[in-house]
Structure 1
Amino acid sequence: MSTSPSSSAEQARRAIGNRLRDLLRDAGLTARALAQTAGWDESKCSRLIRGRTLPSAEDIRTWCRICDAEGEAADLIAATRDADSMYVEWRRLQRSGMKRLQETRVSLYEQTRLFRFYCSSFMPWPLQTPGYMRAVLTSFAEFHEAPRDIDEAVEARAARTRLLYEGDHRFAMVVEESVLYDRVADDDVMAGQLGQLLEGMSLPSVSLGIIPFAARRKLWTMETFSIYDDQRVFVEMLSAAVTVTQPREIALYVKGFTELAAHAVYGGKARALITKALGALS
């Protein structure tokens, strides 16, 4: 697994470029001829065909019109929007505010039956307390110079935790022991957060494993990621949010999660690690 932009996004761009090339061939046209008709520089056609640049909706409509394939435009526009959402810089996601960022995936969360979280940098969001959420979102907003609608964002994020108690959702969570000691907030907030882990792991819908510092491992510590059924993976990078939708890549993350989960301890041993972290608070 890599912290480079997901190959899902790259493959999606290439697939759109390949489809544009096919339309050219079906129409018996060259890129030069299309560019001349559209009034574009020929290099633009090359970038679109190679997947280096995603076409705009208007680009697609023009392309399809010239190729006498206007019936293909709607599907291509939808595919382009999907590809555009696979690798998105945080600064772009935050333009409409932190609250909106917390609300973007609610429908996916509601539809998901099996959530899998691997957390190497912060607590899994379903078990975060409002105080911990506030500290994380505030730090995030400061670092990325995002809008400061923190109160609204915390309220929206906290509302999602109802899924722990509703429906038939299941949550498998694996957390590095180091996360228990990361002081993202003051001692009172951290004590409440660690207490929430102890409370949350007793829920029938939750499996919580902690990977001890001293665990013998086959897989190294890696970026925080979450898996939603076997349909989608979200990877949180410093600069961007990556969405993985390619089945081959999803299978790799599922395999990774399974191996990381095997390094973790559960039940009484996990509780002991959390209690130890609580005792380390001054």
Structure 2
Amino acid sequence: MTLPPNNISGSSNVHEARNALGKRLRELRSSAALSGRQLAESLSWPPSKVSKLENGRQTPSDDDVRDWTRATNAEDETEALLASLHTLEVQHAEWQRILRTGLKPHQQDLTEWDQKTRLFRAFEATVIPGLLQTAEYARARFAEGIRRLKLPNDINEAVAARMQRQKILYRPDKRFHFILTEAALRFRLCPTEVMLGQLDRLVSLSQLTNVRLGIIAFETQYATSPWHGFWMYDNERVLVETFSAALDLRQPQEIELYGNAFEQLAAVASYGRSARVIISRVIDDLAPEPQEDSE
């Protein structure tokens, strides 16, 4: 499989940070003249855990770090290691941890960023962005997450929280620029009647004065590959969602990279009436043929 050319950012930075943390843990163990097995036995851990932590294949918990520094007589390193760990956790937050108390609290966390952000830029290749979703489409998306991640079922509260967040679309001090592929309009991720309602809502929202909605049609020649969706909050943060985790990227070079990618995607998107023509074409293809009255 060919990796995206932008793979130097995001997940690779997280991998490098986890490796750097593991290398520092290994150095502390070596300085204490302990083998991996000896350290594991002193902490009542399986030997494989030491190897996984040192080689960046597992992220330690706060208690793991404290136990490690205590066992290696390096407790003066504890705070620095915990700071590195917490930075890593911000960059790479696993959904099982983010959503362990349910879906609604995560929606409330996003609301905090909604309030402080002036310009929202979002590209989605496969789904409708949360701020543009109907309640029924949102319910289908949340239901998938609950099934896949085996989460607490607070779907009604989560849908209500997402609908509450959408009020921000009508604030004149906020600007929104959404780019969707035509595929995102056509993927069957919910019942047909739900998708038809969702497409109709996109047509309506595309006419808001502070919302710019671009659609990249199937026949469009791309300048930048649509590898994955991402959200940009002003020039402060890029959020990338994967199956297992959310990548929260805040390094200036990463924000610049994603900003450039967004501009290249925006350059080939259709807007205004042309975008609505694409949406209407999808509606026509999706809508059932009217039944003829029988005599």
TM-score bin (small chain)? 0.7 to 0.9
Does the alignment pair 1:99 with 2:99?
no
1:196 to 188, 192, 201: 201
Structure 2 Cα separation of the partners of residues 168 and 208 of structure 1: 17
Q: Which amino acid aligns with 2:191?
A: D
Structure 2 unmatched ranges of 5 or more: 1-5, 289-295
Percent identity reads 37
Name the CA shift for 1:49/1:262 in 2 (closer, same or farther; >3 Å). Answer: same
Q: What is the correspondence of 1:34-113 to structure 2 with a 5 Å cutoff? A: 39=42, 51-61=56-66, 63=69, 66-67=73-74, 69=76, 73-74=78-79, 76-113=81-118
Q: Give the aligned CA root-mean-square deviation in angstroms.
A: 3.3
Deviates more, 1:244-253 or 1:60-69: 60-69
- How far apart, in 2, do the equivalents of 1:185 and 1:33 lie? 55
Number of the residue aligned with 2:33: 32
* Runs ≥4 residues deviating over 6 A: 18-22, 33-38, 41-47
Is the CA contact 2:172–2:210 (under 8 Å) kept in the aligned structure 1? Answer: no
- Evaluate the alpha carbon distance shift between residue 205 and residue 16 of structure 1 in structure 2; reply closer, same or farther with a 3 A threshold: farther
After superposition, what is the alpha-carbon deviation per residue over 1:76-95, rounded to whole angstroms, capped at 9, x for unaligned? 42431231243344334332
The 1:20–1:183 alpha-carbon spacing in structure 2 relative to 1, beyond 3 Å, is closer
Paired residues of 1:8 and 1:245 also in contact (CA < 8 A): no
Q: Distance in 2 between matches of 1:263 and 1:162?
A: 29
Q: Of residues 239, 243, 257 in structure 2, which corresponds to 1:238?
A: 243
2:148 matched to 1:147? Answer: no
> Structure 1 stretches of 5 or more lacking a match?
none
Return the alpha-carbon distance in structure 1 between the equivalents of residues 48 and 137 of structure 2: 50
TM norm structure 2: 0.78
Q: How far apart, CA to CA, are the structure 1 residues paired with 2:12 and 2:192?
A: 40
CA distance in 2, matches of 1:85, 1:111: 18
Deviation per CA, 1:86-131: give whole Å up to 9, x if none. 3344334332222233233321222122211111111111111111
Counterpart of 1:218 in structure 2 is 223
Structure 1 residues 208 and 94: alpha-carbon distance in aligned structure 2, compared to 1, 3 A threshold: same
Q: How many residues align?
A: 276
- Paired letter, 1:163: I
What secondary structure does 1:105 align onto? helix
TM-score (norm 1): 0.81
